[in-house]
Amino acid sequence: MSAPDDGRIGARIKEQRKLARLTQRELAARIPYSYSLLNQVECGARQATDAFAAAVAAALGIDAAVLHGPLHANDEQQCRLAVLVSPIRQALDLYDLDHEPVGGIPVAGLAAEADRICRQVRATHLRAAARALPAVIAGLTQAARTAPTVATWQALASTYRTAHDIALKVGFPDLAIVALDRMGWAAERASDPCLAAIRQYKRALGHAESGKDLGRRMVEAGHALVADDSSREALAVAGQLHLGASAVAARAGDSGAVAQHITAARELADRVGGEAREVHWLSFGRMNVSLHEMGAAITMRQYDDALRQARTMKLPAATLTSRRARFLVDRANVEMETGHTDAALRHLVEARRAAPEQTRYHPRTRETVTGLLNTARRTPDGLGHMAVWIGL
């Protein structure tokens, strides 16, 4: 008797069948296997043999490797992204080397360019930002090692943070970890506790899935760095740390801790007043708190609560593109999970229109499209196009 399949090949067959707009019976009629077997393979009850997978692939007109591949970005996408981030990886490795001259751009010009790149990331122009970033990292690294100043180390730390954000958004978490290590190295030399605390916030988010205790300790370390500072900058950083803690607690299913941290963040947002966009690109404020509260509900699979929050939320016209697109993807996921498939697809299309690069590589986009494919009786043209676009 065949061992139960892990569901991977069956799930891929189901996705590709729906993209071909075929029912199970229609596909079964095209292969030398029974409808019953196809049904069992798709639901993971039976193992797909190589011959079965080859027959299905031939019937669908696709390469059999598609059915054996992972449920993430396809090889072509991954190769393009690897080429894109390779220069960033190399620039991060320059930190402890003696540098060859890279041009006569003054530090102020490099810092301004670093800010421009950060704005590109917030506007979700990820490829343009990724292409421009390595030269700025190299220039600031050389400046920091040859004529160090607090401002230079601060600019370099901020640029490393941008490298982290780009790497994470395009699916290279290993590179994001390296960038955070470099950020800590530069922030320490800048003697900037707020930058160091932001690094702890980013670290905690990276460990949100692997363990509540580790993430909690990182948040606590960040709070300790700004505990004696009552400036607007420090209040915004402390509030963002509470939002990070809420994400860590949500992963652990601790709704009490989530509520505690959301309340603390909301109190700090009231003290900050307005959106603190000038504070290290955090944009901490009341809307940010509400978005994190909805995100925590999604993580804890409290979809009815998340939907209620999403439907009452009105993002200001000045909301950053990256934040607006993330909200739309989250909204689509919640609509899908609560059975509102048309609304889910509509919000995905809107997210794609607002921020195509970010939406394409966001894991929740793939999760939502996969869910829609699995629940749809027939695949609408828009859903089929979306699935092809993200590489399913």
**Could you tell me the two tokens for 163?**
């490298």
Percent of the chain with pLDDT over 90: 50
6-15, 248-257, 383-392: range with lowest mean pLDDT: 6-15
The answer, yes or no, to whether residue 45 has pLDDT greater than 80, is no
Between CA 360 and CA 369 the distance in angstroms is 11
Q: How confident is the model at residue 5 (pLDDT cuts 50, 70, 90)?
A: very low
Q: With left for phi above 0 and alpha for psi between -120 and 50, is residue 380 left, alpha or beta?
A: beta
Average predicted confidence (pLDDT) for the chain: 87
pLDDT number for residue 146 = 86
Strands (DSSP E) contained in the chain are none
pLDDT digit string, tens, across residues 84-115: 899 999 999 988 876 666 556 788 889 899 99
Between CA 93 and CA 173 the distance in angstroms is 16
Between CA 18 and CA 99 the distance in angstroms is 54
pLDDT number for residue 104 = 62
Between CA 137 and CA 88 the distance in angstroms is 8
pLDDT digit string, tens, across residues 202-221: 988 887 555 567 888 899 99
Between CA 60 and CA 20 the distance in angstroms is 7
pLDDT digit string, tens, across residues 238-297: 999 999 999 999 988 899 999 999 999 999 999 998 888 777 888 899 999 999 999 999
